[in-house]
Every structure is written in C-alpha cells, then in structure tokens.
Copies of this chain bind each other. A is one copy, B any other.
Amino acid sequence: MALTKWKERERQQRQNDIIDAARKLLADRDFDQVSMDEIAGQIGLGKSTLYLYFKNKESLYFAIVLRGIRIWAEMVKKEVKKGNTGLEKFKLYGKANRDFSNKYPDYFRLLYSPTSIRKQFDMDKMSSSEEFQEVRELFKEIMSIGIDFIQKGIEEGEIRPDVDPTEATILLSVIYNGKVNMGDWAKELLENRGIDDEKFSKDIGDLFIHMIVKDTD
C-alpha cells in the first residue's frame, strides 16, 4: 500500500516536470506557438507520453495557470495579514501583486493570457477542464480581497469615498496586465530615462496610492 503511494508521488513528480517544462516555454511564446512535441522534447519524452498525464493541450495549459494562481493567492493572503487599516492592507495587497510579478514573472505573464487571449482556446475544451473553473474562482477571490480592503479604507476615512472599490481593484489588475504585456518601445523609452523595471513597478504602486487616498501633500 505504501508502494502505490510512492508510485503516486512518482507520477505527480513527472506531471510536475511536464508542467515546469511547459511553463518555461510558454513564458515568452503563445499557447499556439509552443507545440506538444517541443514540450515533451524539453524533458526527453515522446509527445504521446504527455497525453498520459494530461487530457489535451488546454488541460496542460490550465494546470500551469492553476499552479501560478495558487501561489499568487497565497502570497496575497499572507501579505495582507501584516496590515491593520484598510489602506494599509490595500497597500500590502498591491505589494503582494508586485512581489509575485517579480518573483514569478513566467506565471504572472501566463496568468493574464488565458483571460485576455482567450480567443486562442477551444472554449469547449476549456470549460470542460476542472482546472479552468478553479482558476476562475481564485481570480475572483483575489479581486474580492482588494475590493474589501478599499471598502474598509473608505469606511475608515483614509480612502476617498468617491473611489469605487471594484473599479479601483480592477484597475490595479489592469495595470499589471498592461505592464507585463508592455511593448519593447515603451520599455525603451523608460530605459532611456534610466528607469528600470523595478523602479517603474514601485513608482506605479506609489502613483496608484495617490489615486485613491484622501490627502496628498
């Protein structure tokens, strides 16, 4: 019985290897542009083998995304505990997002693809994937956290009451979405001014807070 359990772990490890190989390849190319052959080749397997671990390509894709969003959700939940007021917690919420995007850029980029470049997917295969549903739920959960803290901040009088919590939270997400997909031309402009990615990230965070707090000085 311990044996079958060990077998199970072995199997999960292999599944893990596949996910990892695919993630690396998908970090800078689109779903359509990475073939199952290439993913399999990356870890010295035949393509057919992938289908023993994943129903189809979409399923593999969302397995990666799911892994990423789980990490994201975890980081957010952990970070916001450090704050007390709504504003504090929302600042930490923003920081967690930034940290995640810096620490796991591959996942982060990937995470914004399925929701935005959804047209590349076969909707039927997508919906049938359990992973897809969980990703969707976690996304909504993460958004809810931000929304609640802005709401709290408004009630506590630190955030302007005319700020719509949903809009502001989505805007934060929109900014990160835009930033990861930012084109080379924009990057060039920043570099010419001596602004690296990290500084830009941080400054965006600061600007965002200016956007919602009651008093700027």
Residues of A within 8 A of B (CB): 28-30, 32-33, 112, 114-120, 136, 139-140, 143, 160, 163-164, 166-168, 170-171, 173-179, 181-186, 189-190, 193, 195, 200, 203-204, 207-208, 210-212, 214-216
Main secondary structure of the interface of A (DSSP, over half): helix
Does A182 lie within 8 Å of B190, measured CB to CB?
no
Does A175 lie within 8 Å of B175, measured CB to CB?
yes
Q: What residue in chain B is nearest A136 (Cβ atoms)?
A: B185
Q: Which of the residues B139, B183, B195 comes within 8 Å of A166, measured between beta carbons?
A: B195
Does B174 lie within 8 Å of A118, measured CB to CB?
no
Q: What residue in chain B is nearest A171 (Cβ atoms)?
A: B204
Does B178 lie within 8 Å of A179, measured CB to CB?
yes
Q: What residue in chain B is nearest A208 (Cβ atoms)?
A: B211
A29 to chain B: which residues have CB within 8 Å? 119
A170 to chain B: which residues have CB within 8 Å? 182, 186, 189-190, 200
Q: What residue in chain B is nearest A204 (Cβ atoms)?
A: B171
**In the complex, what distance in Å separates the CA atom of A170 from the CA atom of B177?**
14
**A172: shortest Cβ distance to chain B, in Å?**
10
A sample of 22 cross-chain residue pairs with beta-carbon separation below 8 angstroms, ordered by A number, consists of A30-B30, A30-B119, A32-B32, A33-B120, A116-B181, A116-B182, A117-B117, A117-B181, A143-B185, A160-B216, A164-B193, A164-B203, A166-B190, A166-B193, A171-B207, A173-B178, A174-B178, A174-B182, A177-B178, A181-B181, A208-B211, A210-B211
